[in-house]
Amino acid sequence: MAGKSGRTIDATPKTSIKSRVLSWESGLIVIFIAVLIFGSIVSKSFTFSNVLREMPKYLSELFMMYAMGFILVIAEIDISVGAIVCLAGTMTCFANRAGAPLIVQIIVCIGVGFLCGCLNGVIATHFQELPTMIITLGTQIIFRGIAEVSMGSGGSVSLSDTMGFAKIGGMVGPFPIAFFLIIIAAVIFIFVLSRTTFGRKMYAVGSNRTAALYAGIPVQKIRQICFTLVGTMAGVCALFLLATSFGANTTTGQGFEMDVIAMCVFGGIATTGGKGNLVGATIAGFTIVCLRIALGQLNMSGQTILVIIGILLIVSALIPGINQSVKNRRKAIAAK
């Protein structure tokens, strides 16, 4: 792939069948199947219907994962999403207790997420010298603070009318409703990132922001849209979380930001930006969910599960690096 200048362009997408078969995503599918086989060997409760029934609790996080994938692709990070989930959940509980109709509660939930994401975006685009890690660290404390203050001394608030949310958390046959929505969201997000000019622009911003700017890409507009989107999806996450927990407390959403970033990284999206896709992230998300369910059925302690997932994550982050160094060494040998 050497151009006229003799330089190689590594980032050019490869589309040959061979490269598809041997891609990170196919590796993930192998791991996913391995997890399923492992689950059914170690736990006889690891059946299709049981896994689907246990899933909604974890599925809510996947909504955020797609938008977080966008954020990582443009080489940003948002660690305030867990706090947004907490704030959106809290406000929705208050709306519920005030007797608002279900549609208003849904609007409140997603609306709070939208506003929080918008705020992150406005700060990020107007104070560009600030790293987004610091911005969202600050807004995280603010969002969680507002939620905690409004919850008052009890530290928790619950839904008074759970009818509507019980429906949202309901099942169609063996499938939870959230499962279908996750699939729809997956299709939309994957399409936007891989098949639209907007998606290409995001990769451009993530690969080299200055070059993207000179190429006429509205960098700040794209950042604003991505941050707003991840906030909105955090609101959606809060909605489905409420449908399983029927209430919010000061610890709601704690650690979610790290969970979704972990899923993205495991799915092959680089935190340095411009690399990876959401197909990988989706498979990785479901792999982690199924692994957690399987290990949970062994009554393994939660901490042990986290250790295993942590190891998995570090190994998966290392493999591209090892791959690269092998490639470099081979080049060096070839050059001699």
Partner 1 sequence: MKKQVVSVVLTAAMAAGMLAGCGSSASSSTSSTSSASSSAASTSASSAASTSSSSSAASTSASSEAVASTSGAAGVGEASGKYALVPKSAGNPFNEREASGFQDALKALGCSDDQIIVSYPDNPTADSQITVIQSLISQGVSSIAVAANDASALDAALKQASDAGIKVCTLDSDVDADYRSVFCNQAGVKEIAQALMDAVYDISGGSGEYAILSATSQATNQNAWIDAMKQIAESDDKYADLKLDEIAYGDDEAQKSTDQTQALLTKYPDLKVICSPTTVGIAAAAKVLQDQKSSVKLTGLGLPSEMKEYIGDDDSHSCPYMFLWNPIDLGALAAYTSVALVNGTITGAVGDTFTAGDLNDGNPYTITENSDKASEIILGQPFKFDPSNIEEWAEVY
* Residue ranges in contact with partner 1 by CB under 8 A: 18-19, 22, 24, 27, 30-31, 34-35, 38, 42-43, 45-47, 50-51, 53-54, 57-58, 153-156, 158, 162, 166, 169, 244-247, 249-252, 254-255, 292-293, 295-306, 308, 311-312, 315-316, 319, 322-323, 326-327, 330
Between 131 and 155, name the residue whose CB sits nearer to partner 1: 155
Between 12 and 299, name the residue whose CB sits nearer to partner 1: 299
Q: How far is residue 186's CA from residue 163's CA, in Å, rounded to a whole number?
A: 28
Contact 101, 120 (CB under 8 A): no
Between 53 and 125, name the residue whose CB sits nearer to partner 1: 53
3-state secondary structure of 8: strand
Q: Shortest distance, CB of residue 251 to partner 1, whole angstroms? A: 4
Element (H or E) spanning 247, and its range? strand 247-249
Q: Shortest distance, CB of residue 164 to partner 1, whole angstroms? A: 13
Between 188 and 319, name the residue whose CB sits nearer to partner 1: 319
Q: Shortest distance, CB of residue 41 to partner 1, whole angstroms? A: 9
Cβ count within 10 A of residue 331? 10
Q: Shortest distance, CB of residue 167 to partner 1, whole angstroms? A: 12
156 - beta bridge partners? 249
Q: How far is residue 237's CA from residue 80's CA, in Å, rounded to a whole number?
A: 13
Cβ count within 10 A of residue 113? 31
Q: Shortest distance, CB of residue 6 to partner 1, whole angstroms? A: 22
Between 195 and 330, name the residue whose CB sits nearer to partner 1: 330
What are the residue ranges of helices labelled H in the chain?
Answer: 17-21, 24-42, 48-54, 56-73, 81-97, 102-126, 132-151, 163-168, 177-195, 197-207, 209-214, 219-245, 256-266, 278-297, 302-335
Q: Shortest distance, CB of residue 204 to partner 1, whole angstroms? A: 26
Q: Shortest distance, CB of residue 22 to partner 1, whole angstroms? A: 4
Residue 98 corresponds to which amino acid?
A
Residue 176 corresponds to which amino acid?
P
Between 211 and 306, name the residue whose CB sits nearer to partner 1: 306
320, 271, 227: which is closest to 24 by C-alpha? 320
Between 99 and 216, name the residue whose CB sits nearer to partner 1: 99
Q: How far is residue 36's CA from residue 287's CA, in Å, rounded to a whole number?
A: 8
Q: Tokens 């993205």: give the residue.
A: 264
Q: How far is residue 36's CA from residue 252's CA, in Å, rounded to a whole number?
A: 29
Q: How far is residue 162's CA from residue 146's CA, in Å, rounded to a whole number?
A: 24
Between 88 and 293, name the residue whose CB sits nearer to partner 1: 293
